[in-house]
Amino acid sequence: MRVQDLIADVTVANMERFLREAGKVPTDKILWAPLEEGRTVLSMMQELGVIGEHMPHLIETLEVPTFDEAFMQAYYAACAKLDTYEKAEEAIRVHTLRTVEAIRAVPDEKLSVEIPFFGGQMWTVAKIMGHHASNTEYHTGQVCYIQTLYGDKSM
């Protein structure tokens, strides 16, 4: 199996796992923030939907956006448009599947190419390809923790 296919398969599996857990959250808890300061389930869904939209271009071109104030304003505006569970879920599905297509299309010789990514750290293309999957897995854990905080211990 190619590395690209493995990462793509894990990305889809993590998306499905995240959406399965987020789907267990009652409607009245989707905007609940732990300690009134933590992230809400919807905010995590918005992040995954919006960042997922940028991943295919990044993987295909290796053009890393400049994470400046204008980028962050555009990010928050895009998140605000995903103002319901259904809109956010659709964005996650659509953009994750586009990301998976981009991952599968990466030629083997590109996997070890390094570019400066977050904080100027050098990341290989293979590591960048796995970022969406690992971010989704990270947020799955957060959703499960939120479930326990509002009293759902049935997991």
Give the least confident one: 41-50, 79-88, 112-121: 112-121
In this prediction, what percent of the chain has a pLDDT beyond 70?
97
Give me the pLDDT at residue 65, please.
86
Residue 151 pLDDT > 80, yes or no? Answer: no
Residue 119 pLDDT > 90, yes or no? Answer: no
Give me the pLDDT at residue 66, please.
84
Cα dist from 70 to 74, 77, 104, whole Å:
6, 11, 31
Give me the pLDDT at residue 139, please.
94
Q: Which letter, b or e, does each residue of 109-132 get, where b requires 16 or more Cβ atoms within 10 Å of its Cβ?
A: eebeeeeebeeeeebebbbbbbbb
**Vertex 143: Cα angle to 38 and 4 (nearest 5):** 120
Backbone angle region of 137, left / alpha / beta, with phi > 0 → left and psi within -120 to 50 → alpha: alpha
Please report which confidence band the pLDDT of residue 148 belongs to, taking 50, 70 and 90 as the band edges.
Answer: confident
Residue 64 CA to residue 69 CA, distance in Å, equals 15
Asked if residues 7 and 18 have their Cβ atoms less than 8 Å apart, the reply is no
Which residue is listed with tokens 């990010």? 75
Please report which confidence band the pLDDT of residue 23 belongs to, taking 50, 70 and 90 as the band edges.
Answer: very high
As a whole number, mean pLDDT of residues 53-82 equals 93
As a whole number, mean pLDDT of residues 112-135 equals 92
Please report which confidence band the pLDDT of residue 155 belongs to, taking 50, 70 and 90 as the band edges.
Answer: low
pTM: 0.92
Tokens read off for 21: 């857990």
